[in-house]
């Protein structure tokens, strides 16, 4: 599963055809804007169409743009045209697109990101909070949500020696979701408590066999954007672990959450 920037894909017509297969009336409008070269003129010169894909299957799409259906406002940037195909709904897949838009906004130096929607109770699950009711360019009222962009300081955690127990060994199944198999040893730090009140969770790298206990060094932290729990990345021998390895190894569980990796 990966996020593609439509503008950088070599097979743009294929993805436009896939978007056109959606059962949402806004999809043909978005496709026409792109085919007629009006997308950036209407939504800003840096506007992007983001695609969440698995191989050649389109899972979700959205836009990241300077403006959306709310005009004449200082609020920017916006996530818009958010859609997930029916067979992937209920799996929190859209969170990965929102996570990517968040990272783009952070890299661009913004302090918040915005979304306009008729939905209530949906985007709160992804870390957004209701801001106000505003009027669209079409004269309709819409709910505007925002998500603050933060910088976390883990300088007191990364490099720390920790030890504890493994309660979900490599190869075991999640106690409540038997289809979710742990691709890595997952446990907790003895005596260190997280924001949820339980002992701090860790992913333990450095072995290909199940463990009962561990001792190692924290080399990175996954900060979840839509959850109160961070996940510490522990290396048994203290060796640094590259970003791609961390993200790929933990994807089996972190794919259901929005997050950013601090190293």
Tens digit of each residue's pLDDT (9 = 90 or more) over 114-158:
999 988 888 888 889 999 898 888 888 899 999 999 889 999 999
Residues of the chain above pLDDT 90, percent: 61
Is the domain of 238 the same as that of 165? yes
Identify the H or E element spanning 27: helix 26-35
Domain boundary among 96, 115, 148: 148
CATH number, domain of 255, equals 3.90.80.10
140 shares its domain with 165: no
Across 38-52, 82-96, 130-144, 202-216, least confident range: 82-96
CA neighbours within 13 Å on the CB side: how many for 75? Answer: 21
201-236 pLDDT, tens per residue?
Answer: 999 999 999 999 999 999 999 998 887 789 999 999
Structure tokens at 260: 């950013």
pLDDT in tens, 166-195: 999 999 998 888 888 999 999 999 888 877
Task: Specify the 3-state DSSP secondary structure of 164.
Answer: strand
> Six-digit token pair at 216?
């190692």
Tally the domains of the chain: 2
Calpha distance 234→187 (Å, rounded): 10
Partners of residue 79 on adjacent β-strands? 64, 115
Is 209 in the same domain as 141?
A: no
Domain range for 245? 161-262
Q: Which of 148, 174, 208 is the last residue of a domain?
A: 148
Q: Are residues 184 and 117 located together in one domain of the fold? A: no
The domain that holds 62 is classified in CATH as: 3.40.630.30
Q: What is the mean pLDDT of residues 22-38?
A: 91
Structural domain includes residue 93? yes
Cα 117 from Cα 68, distance rounded (Å): 11
E-strand stretches of the chain:
2-5, 48-54, 57-65, 78-84, 112-117, 129-135, 141-148, 161-168, 185-193, 199-205, 213-224, 230-235, 259-262
pLDDT at 172: 93
Residue 28 has pLDDT above 80, yes or no: yes
Alpha-carbon distance of 87 to 152, in angstroms, equals 35
- At which of 148, 178, 193 does a domain end? 148
Predicted confidence at residue 105, as pLDDT, reads: 94
* Residue 95 pLDDT: 84
156 found inside a domain: no
Residue 116 shares a structural domain with residue 209: no
């Amino acid at each position: 599963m990966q996020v593609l920037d439509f503008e950088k894909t070599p097979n743009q017509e294929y993805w436009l055809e896939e978007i056109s297969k959606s059962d949402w009336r806004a999809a043909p409008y978005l496709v026409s804007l792109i085919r007629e070269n009006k997308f950036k003129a209407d939504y800003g010169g840096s506007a992007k169409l983001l695609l969440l894909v698995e191989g050649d299957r389109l899972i979700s799409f959205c836009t990241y743009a300077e403006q959306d259906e709310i005009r004449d406002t200082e609020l920017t940037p916006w996530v818009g045209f958010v859609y997930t195909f029916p067979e992937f709904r209920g799996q929190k897949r859209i969170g990965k697109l929102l996570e990517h838009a968040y990272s783009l906004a952070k890299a661009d130096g913004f302090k918040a990101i915005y979304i306009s929607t008729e939905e209530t109770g949906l985007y709160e699950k992804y870390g957004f909070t209701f801001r106000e009711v505003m009027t669209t360019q079409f004269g309709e009222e819409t709910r505007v949500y925002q998500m603050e962009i933060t910088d976390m300081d883990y300088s007191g955690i990364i490099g720390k020696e920790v030890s504890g127990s493994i309660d979900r060994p490599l190869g075991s199944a999640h106690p409540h979701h038997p289809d979710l198999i742990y691709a890595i040893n997952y446990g907790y730090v003895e005596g260190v408590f997280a924001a949820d009140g339980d002992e701090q969770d860790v992913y333990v790298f450095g072995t290909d066999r199940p463990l009962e206990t561990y001792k190692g060094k924290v080399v990175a932290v996954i900060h979840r954007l839509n959850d109160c729990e961070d996940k510490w990345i522990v290396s048994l021998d203290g060796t640094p672990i590259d970003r791609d390895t961390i993200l790929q190894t933990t994807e089996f569980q972190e794919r259901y959450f929005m997050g950013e990796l601090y190293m």
